[in-house]
Structures are given as structure tokens and as C-alpha cells.
Amino acid sequence: MAALDFETHGEVVRVRLSHWRSRLVGYDVSAYLHRGALVDTGFPAAARDVARLARDKGIGAAVLTHHHEDHSGGVGALAASGIGVAMAPATRDALVALTRVPLYRRITWGAPRPPGALPAAALPGGLTLIPTPGHCADHHAVWDAERGILFGGDLFLGVKVRIAHPEEDPRLLVRTLEAIAALEPAELFDAHRGRVPNARDALRAKAAWNAELIAKIDARIDEGWEDAAIRDELLGGESFSGWLSGGEYARISFVRAVRRTKR
């Protein structure tokens, strides 16, 4: 059983989802109700609760920001309830190709199941998907252009995020953040942080902070530094989640991602 907490922000309802194992490591994730749609679908251990909520609220369709299991965990249960889930083709491909996720993620969120047949679903009315790669290749923001409301998924997370998954591309993320800030969203809802005050400034601040950090890492790579030494010097050593995830969701992964994407 997952815990569901509700916050109302104008016409947007934040559904904050957690369960005891995710709270133990300090994580929760949010889905959003907006314009009769559900944005993101929570984690596998919350799937039945999310599907029940969607039925109770008369949700017509859902839409995914990306394939990670804390966003896509409800896809199968929603489909079984007759609620279609729209997503980018790249997200569909990633879900279908799903292999086992690392143990710490299975413990935190529950084990994702292969979604089986994913019936194609139309995007909910008034919403569009904007490619926002960086966090992962299939990442998209859900944009309500009429109201200037952006559902950022894992685009933002915070200004100074020093940890990364191995597949992240921090340089691409900087370009994405600048492009999304240029849209001048009036509101930004983040999948982990909730409503982000001063959305445009926050996106620009994150882009600037990351660009500066990447430049410092590049300089040390050019000087021949090892990854762990760069991490210790610039990121203050390894993080709790870095240890917990065996170096997967970690500060060392941020440094490696910068090195991997260096020209």
C-alpha cells in the first residue's frame, strides 16, 4: 500500500506518492492531475493505488515524462483499468526493452514488470510533449501551452544536484534547461520537488550552475585527474545515495558522465 498525499495548486493537483521503503531512504515521487489527465503514473508498488485514484477521479488518459520506474510504474495497472497512457515513442521503446533495474531501485520503488501490450493512446487534450533530454534520452516535459504550465518530470530536481545516473548527459541537460527556460513557463511542477517557485529563474540557475561545474570538471580532466579525485575536490566526496546504490546513483557517475560526453 502506498501513501497518497494531495496538494492543490490552482487547477493542478499534486499527488505525492510514497511507501515505507521509499520513505526509509528519503524518496517520494509525485504524479499530477491536470485537465482531466494524469501526468506520470508513480512507482510499481503504488500501481494499484494510482489506478484506483484514476478511476475514482474519472481520468481519461495519462501521459509519461520518461521510462524510469518511479514515473511509469502504474502503466500496466492503468491499461488494465482501460485508461490509456500516452508517451513518446522512445519512452515506449525503453519500457518494452526493460531489463532488471538495480537492486536499490527495486527496494525503493518495487520491481517494475514488463508492461506487456501497450495500447497506443492519444495525448490528453491541451497537453503536448516536449523533448527534454539530459536526465535520460527519452525524457519529455508535459506542456500546457495555453496556461503556461510545465510538468518537468525529472528535468529540474533542484539547482545543485551533484548526483547522476550513469546514462545522464549533463552537457545536453544544460542546453535543454536553457531551451525550456526560454519557453518562459509560468509554473513548473517537478516530480520530486513539487511546485518550483520562480520557474524560469530556477531553470536558468540550474543551467548556469551545471555549466560552471562541467567547466571545472573538464579543466581537471585536461590536467589528467582521476574521476574519484575530481569528485572529492569538486563535489565533496561520495553521497549517501552513492554508497547505497553501489556507485550507480552517485557523484562519481556525474564526473564519469562529464568525461564520457567530453569532445
Instruction: Establish if 67 lies at the interface with Zn ion (CB under 5 A).
Output: no
Residue closer to Zn ion by CB (options 34, 132) is: 132
- The nearest distance, CB 68 to Zn ion, in angstroms, is 3
- Three-state SS for 216? helix
Q: Which of 40, 49, 144, 154 binds Zn ion (CB under 5 A)?
A: 154
The closest residue (CB) to Zn ion is 68
The minimum distance between CB 219 and Zn ion, in angstroms, equals: 29
Q: By C-beta, is 167 or 226 nearer to Zn ion?
A: 167
Strand partners of residue 85 = 62
Closer to Zn ion at the Cβ: 144 or 154?
154
Give min distance, CB of 69 to Zn ion, in A: 9
Please report how close the Cβ of residue 253 comes to Zn ion at its closest, in angstroms: 13
Q: CB of residue 124 vs Zn ion: minimum separation in angstroms?
A: 21
Contact region for Zn ion (CB under 5 A) — 83-91, 108-116, 153-161, 197-205?
Answer: 153-161
Phi (first) and psi of residue 86, to 5 degrees: -80, 145
CB of 166 to Zn ion, least distance (A): 13
How many Å apart are CA 170 and CA 216, to the nearest integer?
13
User: Which contacts qualify for 66-69: CB closer than 8 Å, 24 or more apart?
Assistant: 66/91, 66/94, 66/135, 66/136, 66/138, 66/139, 66/140, 66/153, 66/154, 67/91, 67/94, 67/95, 67/98, 67/136, 67/138, 68/136, 68/154, 69/43, 69/44, 69/101, 69/105, 69/109, 69/110, 69/112
Residue 38 CB, nearest distance to Zn ion (Å)?
A: 17
Q: CB atoms < 10 A from the CB of 59, how many?
A: 19
CB closer to Zn ion, 87 vs 230: 87
Residue whose C-alpha is closest to residue 214's, from 158, 177, 171, 251: 171
- Cell 502506498 belongs to 2
Out of 68, 92, 251, 256, point to the residue binding Zn ion (CB under 5 A): 68
Q: Which helix (H) or strand (E) holds 227?
A: helix 227-230
Around 119, how many Cα atoms within 13 Å sit in the side-chain half-sphere?
Answer: 13
Stretch that binds Zn ion, among 3-11, 62-70, 192-200, 252-260 (CB under 5 A): 62-70
Number of residues interacting with Zn ion: please give it, by CB under 5 A. 2
Judged by CB under 5 A, the stretch of 20-28, 31-39, 66-74, 116-124 that binds Zn ion is 66-74
Contact footprint for Zn ion (CB under 5 A):
68, 154
